[in-house]
Amino acid sequence: MPKVQLLPADVISKIAAGEVIDRPSSVIKELVENSLDAGASAVNVRLEGAGKTLISIADDGAGIEREDLETIFLRHSTSKIRSIEDLERLQTMGFRGEALYSIAAIADVVLRSKPAKQDTGWEIHIRGGKKIKLKPVTMGQGTEIEVRELFFNTPARRKFLKSDTTEAGSCLNTFLPYALLHPQIRFRLSHKNKDLLDLGSDQYLKSRIAHALNLNEKHLMEAGRDIPEAGFSLRLMLGDINVKRARRDLQYIFVNGRPVASRSLSFHMNEIYKLILPPHAYPFFCLFIHLPPEEIDVNIHPTKREVKIRNEAPLVSALRHLCERTLMTQGQAKQAGADIWEEEGGRSTSRFPEGIPADKLIMGPRQDWDRTGFSTLGGVPPPAAADAPGPSFNAGQTHFLGGAGDLREKLSGARYLGQFMKKFLLFEYGASLLCIDQHAAQERITYEALKKQYESGNVEVQPLLTPVLIAVTPQEMLAFEESQSGLEESGLSCSQFDPATIAVHSAPNLLKDPEITLRFFLSEGSVKRFDHHILARQACRSSIMAGDTLKPEQALYQRDRLLACADPFICPHGRPTVIELTESFLDKQFLRT
């Protein structure tokens, strides 16, 4: 009996569908692109069950002829191409004829459509790839399609769908770039009878982007450049120094009117922004590129999400030059009250005012102050002879973390020498020079204090005299609506101020910026139980930074608090907090043998 056999037709259709449709957002992508190709001036998307139960998309485009209704659900049926040469002259978003075939193979689909010249509309019902009925209907010009019970006949794929919050967020993330790209078209997305996004037509790209993403228009910069000799044009919409994000969640690239992913272009854009942003802070940008169709290949991925540009080097060179010039000539100064924050290894914009202890500024006002004027950081034991061993890394005679017990003893009795480069604290003990990374040390201190509070379920919170109002994106508001109880448990008391703003009424006492904390959780899509990763990130953002000046008494206080930690010689991210350089090692470096 032969081992190689042809697959049944129904299995082939389901496998092919899985290459194009893997979640509700994939359906939205394909159908919205069809609406745009049809010349729609309004696109309305309605979801139930985050698209698992229902995805309804209605447009006022050109419509579909009666004689084409059944054909469009056949595989590779398309009006966009006739020959292989047409692939090099594509001006439309869809072209392969796989979308409707793939969707109909794994869902219950009802499509209604009416072209302008047709007296009546027609409705076709297809379930699992099989036609149920075809009948006339009364409707206005355009197309309406309802996709129900997605993956009803492929339960293995359906079980891998995520929570409603995550899937609805994915649908919003997929829908939003098309709204940015086409300001003249009205876009509306609703879920559970509530609008997630409702954007009327707008003649200006900048105002559409600002409205859609809830950004301040004055912090957006626009630039463009045509390079006819190279055959391409660039248009940029950039955020200035006041628009910083915890993740690359507001970065959009469009090539010939198609939202795409490009690691190369994204890398270069983020590299340029390092001129003005601190490490691990990410910018907002929209990049619009127009090339001759024959210079790009949009057929390298089943979902057409990735494209290949044949000659990318001159494009990248022009892009870097235009972006850098725009940031340097149009960028504004940092605004008071803008989203100022730092990530791992970043530099704080704050400075210690004269006479105010560092700890008071870093840890917030609600602390128990001892007779020295420094916070005792409730819950952290006094510097004791804790013997918790730490990892040891040796490089010649330079001891990174040394033996934990030995290094504890040396550091506790060391004499403070001073601060180097506003980054390192130098201590002397016998024949050893001990160097503390002030940011890494503060991360460890804050991390252990946060961990004790969250494990005990007794998070110390700081009520705010006036609420902090935070403008959020549609994605962040969606995550907030699903996560309010989790935020309360994490020490953040928040309420919805208006459809695009969240008010923070109280925040964890150990965290210096409630906006940073809130945005971090919302960028995760939902609030989860605090784990090591989350605590480490929060500790980092609430710590003394490289560039902060510490007075001698502040440096000594940080040293004592570090020694009180259970694991003082490594930060939550795995970096050493202290290294030891011995006299013999330094002698060898100076050839004093």
Residue 453, SS3 per DSSP = helix
Mark which of 330, 351, 376 sits at the end of a domain. 330
E runs forming strands in 524-593: 578-582
Residues 194 and 215 in one domain: no
Mark which of 147, 167, 199 sits at the end of a domain. 199
Residue 227 belongs to a domain: yes
Interacting residues of 82 by C-beta distance below 8 A, sequence separation 6+: none
Residue 478 belongs to a domain: no
Mark which of 136, 166, 199 sits at the end of a domain. 199
CB 144 within 8 A of CB 58: yes
Residues 195 and 232 in one domain: no
Count the helix, strand and coil residues of the chain and give each as a percent rounded to the nearest 5. 35, 25, 40
Residues 88 and 131 in one domain: yes
CB environment 284-314: b (16+ within 10 A), e (fewer): bbbbbbebeeebbbbeeebebeebebeebee
Residues 172 and 221 in one domain: no
Residues 90 and 108 in one domain: yes
Residues 375 and 389 in one domain: yes
Per-residue pLDDT tens listing for the chain (593 residues): 676 766 676 666 666 665 678 899 999 999 999 999 899 999 999 999 999 999 999 999 999 999 888 888 887 666 665 555 555 555 566 555 578 888 998 999 999 999 998 999 999 999 998 999 999 999 999 999 999 999 998 888 888 899 898 899 999 999 999 999 999 999 999 998 899 999 999 989 999 999 999 999 999 999 999 988 888 899 999 999 889 888 898 999 999 888 998 888 999 999 999 888 877 789 999 999 999 887 887 655 555 577 778 888 889 999 999 999 898 888 764 444 444 333 333 333 333 333 333 333 333 322 332 323 222 233 333 333 333 333 333 333 344 444 455 788 899 999 999 999 888 999 999 999 999 999 889 888 888 888 888 777 777 888 888 899 999 999 889 888 887 877 887 788 899 999 899 999 988 877 767 887 788 778 765 555 555 556 666 666 555 666 788 899 999 999 999 999 988 888 887 788 999 898 888 888 888 86
Residue 209 belongs to a domain: yes
Residue 519 belongs to a domain: no
Residue 337 belongs to a domain: no
Residues 155 and 216 in one domain: no
Residues 96 and 210 in one domain: no
Structure tokens at 24: 């509700």
Task: Check the CA dihedral 282-288-290-293 and report its sign.
Answer: positive
Domain with 292, as residue range(s), is: 205-330
Residue 532 belongs to a domain: no
Residue 339 belongs to a domain: no
Task: Specify the CATH number for the domain of residue 43.
Answer: 3.30.565.10
Q: How far apart are the first and last CA of the chain?
A: 81
Residue 201, SS3 per DSSP = coil
Q: What is the 3-state secondary structure (H, E, C) of 85-139?
A: HHHHHCCCCCCCCCHHHHHHHCCEEEEEEECCCCCCEEEEEEECCEEEEEEEECC
Q: In this structure, what DSSP letter does residue 214 have?
A: T
**Domains in the chain: how many in total?**
3
Residues 225 and 126 in one domain: no
Residue 46, SS3 per DSSP = strand
Residues 72 and 195 in one domain: yes
Q: In this structure, what DSSP letter does residue 375 have?
A: B
Residue 284 belongs to a domain: yes
By CB atoms closer than 10 A (0-12, 13-18, 19+), residue 85 is exposed
Residues 287 and 366 in one domain: no
Residues 186 and 316 in one domain: no
Task: Specify the CATH number for the domain of residue 393.
Answer: 3.30.1540.20
